[in-house]
């Protein structure tokens, strides 16, 4: 079958070790591994099972017979001062034997030629770190509402041009596809240097760039795709863990985001419409105008224009998860996949 991974040994040009942290990834791990196995540039696939309680490890073992360059590693708990994912990928990096390390999530599916494209970008740009922001697979209504809205907001903060400009201090990467040369990775201390970071991908990119290496951050449309969350609860937990830090990590950043994204004037005009019918008419047109502007932003970020239909729930969900993320950091801890991690409390929002 054309979609099945080959039993052939890696080609001599294979230069990449793929490292996949996996904690309870039963629904997606097989598709991820098979997509990596179809990349001739990947010499080995190291799946690091992080104490999964589902069939993740069993599925990986079942694939090892048909994918000879696939290995399964096991964590034995998480040491103090580490985030679980960071510790898992650090174990994979220690075992890796190749000059390029590809860190990718278990829910990522890599299109044919993805690894070759990443190496090509590295060669063309002289980048030590290449990262693609994956194409987002959106299933439920809440995914279609919240995820594109967040990515549009983040595109304003982490523009590809600024990140890729060596003279700019801006740095970013997406841990769902992060390819890095072994030498620079070791030179900055690898994942041990960002052991406690919840946003380890951005933190690692900052260390790489501040050490004088180049970054190449690009859209991953047609290269890698991800369905990040398969339930509302996991989506809420995931963005609660990440969003506060992504938008800047200070209470002032939260205030600015709330002020710039929530349609306060539209809401006020609509409320005036209860007493003045013309205000209701004007409020509706203002809302439509906001939706059309959002549609333009969606298309610039390679999402369907039709997702403007989710604008109102998108704004509501974004405001809710941003506030929840701030409150988590204010309490000094975040949760992810059954574990709690201490974070620096940001103080009080004023």
More confident residue, 285 or 300: 300
pLDDT digit string (tens) for 41-65?
A: 999 999 999 999 999 999 999 999 9
In this structure, are residues 21 and 29 in contact, taking their beta carbons and an 8 Å threshold? no
Q: In which band, very low, low, confident or very high, does the pLDDT at 234 lie, cut at 50, 70 and 90?
A: very high
The pLDDT of residue 336 is 84
pLDDT digit string (tens) for 81-113?
A: 999 999 999 999 999 999 999 999 999 999 999
User: Can you read off the two tokens belonging to residue 26?
Assistant: 């039963």
More confident residue, 131 or 77: 131
Q: In which band, very low, low, confident or very high, does the pLDDT at 258 lie, cut at 50, 70 and 90?
A: confident
Task: Give CA–CA dist 179/174, Å, rounded.
Answer: 10
The pLDDT of residue 9 is 39
Q: For residue 10, how many other CB atoms are within 10 A of its CB?
A: 19
pLDDT digit string (tens) for 263-296?
A: 756 566 556 666 667 666 666 656 777 878 889 9
Stated pTM of the model: 0.87
- Cβ neighbours for 224, distance < 8 A, ≥ 6 positions apart: 104, 108, 109, 110, 111, 114, 132, 134, 135, 176, 177
User: Can you read off the two tokens belonging to residue 201?
Assistant: 């991908």
Average pLDDT over residues 308-314: 93
């Amino acid at each position: 079958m054309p979609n099945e991974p080959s039993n052939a040994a890696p080609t001599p040009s294979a230069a990449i070790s793929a490292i996949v942290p996996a904690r309870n990834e039963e629904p997606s791990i097989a598709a991820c591994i098979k997509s990596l196995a179809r990349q001739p540039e990947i010499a080995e696939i190291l799946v690091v099972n992080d104490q999964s309680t589902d069939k993740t490890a069993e599925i990986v073992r079942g694939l090892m017979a048909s994918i000879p360059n696939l290995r399964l590693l096991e964590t034995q708990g998480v040491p103090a001062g580490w985030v679980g994912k960071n510790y898992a990928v650090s174990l994979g990096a220690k075992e890796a034997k190749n000059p390029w390390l590809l860190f990718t999530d278990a829910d990522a599916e890599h299109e044919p030629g993805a690894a070759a494209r990443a190496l090509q970008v590295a060669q063309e740009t002289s980048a030590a770190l290449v990262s693609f922001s994956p194409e987002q697979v959106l299933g439920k209504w809440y995914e279609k509402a919240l995820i594109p809205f967040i990515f549009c907001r983040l595109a304003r903060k982490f523009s590809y041009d600024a990140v890729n400009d060596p003279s700019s201090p801006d740095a970013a990467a997406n841990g769902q596809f992060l390819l890095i040369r072994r030498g620079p990775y070791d030179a900055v201390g690898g994942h041990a240097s960002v052991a406690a970071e919840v946003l380890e991908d951005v933190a690692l990119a900052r260390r790489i760039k501040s050490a004088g290496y180049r970054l190449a951050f690009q859209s991953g449309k047609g290269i890698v795709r991800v369905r990040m969350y398969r339930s509302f609860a996991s989506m809420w937990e995931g963005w609660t863990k990440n969003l506060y830090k992504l938008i800047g990590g200070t209470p002032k950043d939260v205030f600015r985001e709330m002020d710039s994204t929530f349609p306060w004037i539209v809401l006020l005009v609509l409320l005036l419409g209860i007493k003045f019918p013309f205000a209701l008419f004007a409020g509706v047109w203002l809302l439509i105008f906001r939706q059309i502007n959002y549609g333009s932003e969606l298309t610039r970020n390679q999402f369907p224009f039709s997702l403007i239909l989710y604008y109102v729930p998108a704004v509501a969900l974004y405001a809710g998860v941003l506030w929840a993320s701030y409150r988590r950091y204010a309490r000094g801890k975040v949760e992810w996949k059954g574990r709690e991690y201490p974070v620096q409390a940001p103080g009080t929002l004023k």
